[in-house]
Amino acid sequence: MLQFFKHIKGDKTIWAVVALLGILSFMPIYSASTNLIYVVGSSSSTLGILIKHAFLMLSGFIILVAVHKINYKYFSSISVIALVCVIILLLYTLTQDTTIGGATAKRWIEIPFVGLSFQTSTLANVVLMTYVARYLATNKEKEIILKESVLKLWFPIILVLGLIVPENLSTSVLIFTMVIMLLFVGGYPLKYLFSIGGIAIALFGLFFVLNKAYPDMMPNRINTWANRIENFSNPDAEEGYQVEKAKIAIATGLEPTGPGKSVQKNFLPQSSSDFIFAIIIEEFGIILWLPIVLLYILLLIRFVVVAQKSPTTFGTLMVIGVGFPIIFQAILNMMVAVNLIPVTGQNLPLISSGGTSIWMISLAIGMVLSVSAAKDNELINEENSIVENLETT
């Protein structure tokens, strides 16, 4: 075991937080799994669901360990090639005929032989943020002109988001928000950001109106978006029904039911993913939900520390680009559970079930740790150099 820890580099606090969140995820997943068996009917045994989650967490940990060993500077070049691959995957994903609840949802591609599906938009998020960090770092000493950045920066962003938005509005909005945040932090001219933001809002409005006028253009999805907003507080609608059940679960959390004794998991279709935070509150109360919130806050603080200590501009921007969306996603999931925003379909990072989410979050955290490890290696090299100089004198 000690030999293994010698190979673990980077911020030890991040390692500890990730491990704790992973361990804390097992009880809620096991509890909510009864919903998947008796209500949803998507599985046959709670043990099978638990084993699947354990496999996903273990494979995610392997990804994290492998990625954090890579020199983070290589991610700059990798992002260019990966971006092309992501665009191809997104195009392929749109050709898949996936149906959820009677509505088309072309978000996943099946992974052969393992019985798992892969949501390509989550990979697109990590790759695109890394690519934007590369662009900003490459042009940090230059005066950025909007006309010159259209092809190298905005065209890839628009293309990726354009392929995601038809089937996953919440993820595309999340990615666009994080891109704007990263561009702001990276020093992209503010006047251009306001212009791009205005154009994006206008285009989305036009897109929405056209799809309302011609519903066959994109069956079901526009209606899904509209219904989530319109039925936000309507208990008779599906979205309002889910929120009402989540609120009951949260209210019950004042006197927790205890592990595995949630009642509302039997009424929430997404109790193991979108609404798992509500189930955690119902069963464990403040004993578990508060530590989870504090762990996310601690993770954010360590991301900031790693970004500040990064040896290069690219490292700083990459940490912000791939790390901050994890925290933002957690906030969105919690806000949905407490009825602050409409249902978005965002998982609770490292807690909710779902293979792609666990893998991509592990990839992103591995990239953050690779930046942290590079700083540690620099300090080690400096210490070795000092020792060698003392020995020679």
Q: Is 116 helix (H, G, I), strand (E, B) or coil?
A: strand
- Are the C-beta atoms of 64 and 58 separated by less than 8 Å? no
Per-residue pLDDT at 136: 95
Q: What is the pLDDT at residue 240?
A: 64
Which residue would you say has higher pLDDT here, 294 or 109? 294
Write out pLDDT tens, residues 102-140: 444 556 777 665 566 778 889 999 999 999 999 999 998
170 vs 100: CA distance, rounded Å: 16
pTM, whole model, 2 decimals? 0.86
Closest residue by Cα to residue 195 from 143, 138, 129, 144: 144
Pairing of strands 116-119, 103-104: unpaired
Local structure of 310: helix, strand or coil: coil
In the chain, count H helices and then E strands. 16, 4
Which has more pLDDT, 245 or 364?
Answer: 364
Q: What does pLDDT average to over the chain? A: 81
What pLDDT, on the 0 to 100 scale, is given for residue 318? 97
Residue 235 has pLDDT above 60, yes or no: no
Which pLDDT does position 27 carry in this prediction? 87
pLDDT digit string (tens) for 336-382? 888 777 777 788 999 988 767 899 999 999 999 999 998 655 544 44
d(CA 14, CA 366): 10
**Measured distance CA(271)–CA(218) in Å, rounded:** 28
Q: Looking at residues 89-112, what average pLDDT do you find?
A: 66
For the cut 50, the answer to whether the pLDDT of residue 73 exceeds it is yes
